[in-house]
Amino acid sequence: MEETNSARVDDCVNFEKLKKIKLNDDNENDDDLFKDEGSSSKNDQHSLLVAQHYNKLQEKGLKERFNSKIFYLRNFNNWIKSMLISEYLQKIKDSIQFGSPLRVLDMCCGKGGDLLKWQKGNISYLICTDIASMSIEQCKARYEKITAHDPPERKSFNAEFFTCDATRDRLRERYSDPSIELNLVSCQFAFHYCFESPKQAETMLKNVSECLRPGGYFIGTIPDAYDIMKRQRNSRSDSFGNDIFEIKFLSDPNDLPIFGAKYNFHLDGVVDCPEFLVYFPALVKLAKKYSLKLVEVVRFEDYFHRNIGRGRNLLEKMSAVEQYGLQGNRMSRSNDNEYKHAKDFLLQRGGYDNCRRCGTLSASEWEAACNSLHDIRLPKSQRAHRMKMF
Ligand SMILES: C[S@@+](CC[C@H](N)C(=O)[O-])C[C@H]1O[C@@H](n2cnc3c(N)ncnc32)[C@H](O)[C@@H]1O
């Protein structure tokens, strides 16, 4: 029991050992792992902290964003989201009748960073929710702005907005039409907040699943807990990072619980608040309970390599990488070591005579992008859903 109730460091790093925990489909005893042990008042405080943090974040101007140390990293993350969203909207369009409405829930939508992606994807309806009320206000204002020139009776897409805690509140009760059928639920860079407790993870997954049509998809991006643990072990300390990000463990990294494994994540000028490791086998197991079956989980670096062919133009258009040339151009970071990988890459391909350039991220940004991010896709299982209906 002891052994199964906590995912120790070794378990987090070593996949073989993970298998021994037997979070498999048939092991009903695993349900013990999901028992809520946390105190809810302490948890409430934590959500408040997260909401306060995001409410305080100011929208930055173009100039300030360009001068930020993570300008390209943010664009790169945005590119990943664009590719993921367009890929899954296309899958859904291919599976429904031409002209059918396409309805999306953007859970933990923030200030509406994905609104243009939804508009470009020709969706018909969008629900935006977030725990931070200021973010919701800004998201709504942004929506009004991007649809301002649409004819009122033919808006490019209609939308509703409300503030709520997706790990505690039942979203369906807040929808203007609680019987709405969604084709896609998207939760970008936020699902990990629900791994504070089993109850919160269940509520979040119930919110994902409840109005999702059979055959619909849940897509999301979360930090990669295994990678974080690997880096923590290599650093032999409770904290690690570089000059743009820092992860500091607030739970004992040698005795991590499956839920509530807390660390503080700091990302230059954008994030500075506690987050929770997502123990992936537990997520898959819980998701199944809500008729969601894992289709694919991909690390950002792999997703990048897989999609660069299809997404090269967009990558350039979004300035998701900076151009490095051997003849010396001004880079966003002045330290040459930040671009040693790009230099080596070009040297291998032709030496100093070669005027070619390559697109890259600084080493620090690449480390932040690749250490931590998973992209998950869970479709609503048709069979499981039908079973629910009997
Ligand atoms: C890193 S931001 C990502 C925002 C947006 N999805 C994006 O990709 O631009 C994380 C967001 O999750 C929201 N959030 C955190 N905990 C939440 C909760 N329990 N319920 C709803 N939103 C939450 C935060 O307010 C914040 O806007």
Domain ranges of the chain: 43-305+372-389, 322-360
Q: What distance in angstroms lies between residue 290's CA and the mean position of ligand 1's atoms?
A: 22
Estimate to the nearest angstrom the gap between the alpha carbon of 125 and the chain centroid. Answer: 21
Q: What distance in angstroms lies between residue 75's CA and the mean position of ligand 1's atoms?
A: 18
Q: Which of 46, 49, 54 maximizes ligand 1 atoms within 8 Å of its Cβ, making it the mutation to test the pocket?
A: 54
What is the reported pTM? 0.86
Angle (CA) 88 92 98, round 5°: 140
Please report which residue ranges of the chain form alpha helices under DSSP H. Answer: 2-5, 9-13, 15-20, 40-56, 62-67, 71-95, 115-120, 133-146, 198-210, 225-235, 280-289, 300-317, 340-348, 363-372, 382-389
Q: Whose C-alpha lies nearest to ligand 1, atom 19?
A: 165
Instruction: Round to the nearest angstrom and report the end-to-end CA distance of the chain.
Output: 35
The verdict on the CB of residue 373 being under 6 Å from ligand 1 is no
**Per-residue pLDDT tens digits of the chain, which is 390 residues long:** 222 333 443 454 443 334 444 444 455 556 665 666 554 445 567 888 888 888 887 776 767 777 788 899 999 999 999 999 999 999 999 999 998 999 999 999 999 999 999 999 999 999 999 999 999 999 999 999 999 999 888 889 999 999 999 999 999 999 999 999 999 999 999 999 999 999 999 999 999 999 999 999 999 999 999 889 999 999 999 999 998 999 999 999 999 999 999 999 999 888 899 999 999 999 999 999 999 999 888 888 889 989 999 999 999 999 888 888 877 777 888 788 888 888 888 887 776 666 677 888 888 888 777 644 455 566 665 443 333 222
Q: Which of 52, 77, 108, 109 maximizes ligand 1 atoms within 8 Å of its Cβ, making it the mutation to test the pocket?
A: 108
Q: How much is the pLDDT for 270?
A: 83
Paired tokens of 230: 């690997």
Q: How much is the pLDDT for 331?
A: 81
CATH class of 43-305+372-389: alpha beta
The verdict on the CB of residue 132 being under 6 Å from ligand 1 is yes
Atom of ligand 1 nearest to the CA of 81: 8
Q: How much is the pLDDT for 321?
A: 85
Which residues fall in the annotated binding site for S-adenosyl-L-methionine?
Answer: 81, 108, 130, 165, 188, 193
The verdict on the CB of residue 104 being under 6 Å from ligand 1 is no
Q: How much is the pLDDT for 96?
A: 93
Q: What distance in angstroms lies between residue 135's CA and the mean position of ligand 1's atoms?
A: 9
Q: Whose C-alpha lies nearest to ligand 1, atom 4?
A: 110
Q: What distance in angstroms lies between residue 326's CA and the mean position of ligand 1's atoms?
A: 40
Paired tokens of 114: 């994905």
Q: What distance in angstroms lies between residue 42's CA and the mean position of ligand 1's atoms?
A: 20
Atom of ligand 1 nearest to the CA of 53: 25
Enclosing H/E stretch for 324: strand 322-325
Enclosing H/E stretch for 223: strand 212-223
The verdict on the CB of residue 188 being under 6 Å from ligand 1 is yes
The verdict on the CB of residue 112 being under 6 Å from ligand 1 is no
Q: How much is the pLDDT for 34?
A: 64
Q: Whose C-alpha lies nearest to ligand 1, atom 16?
A: 193
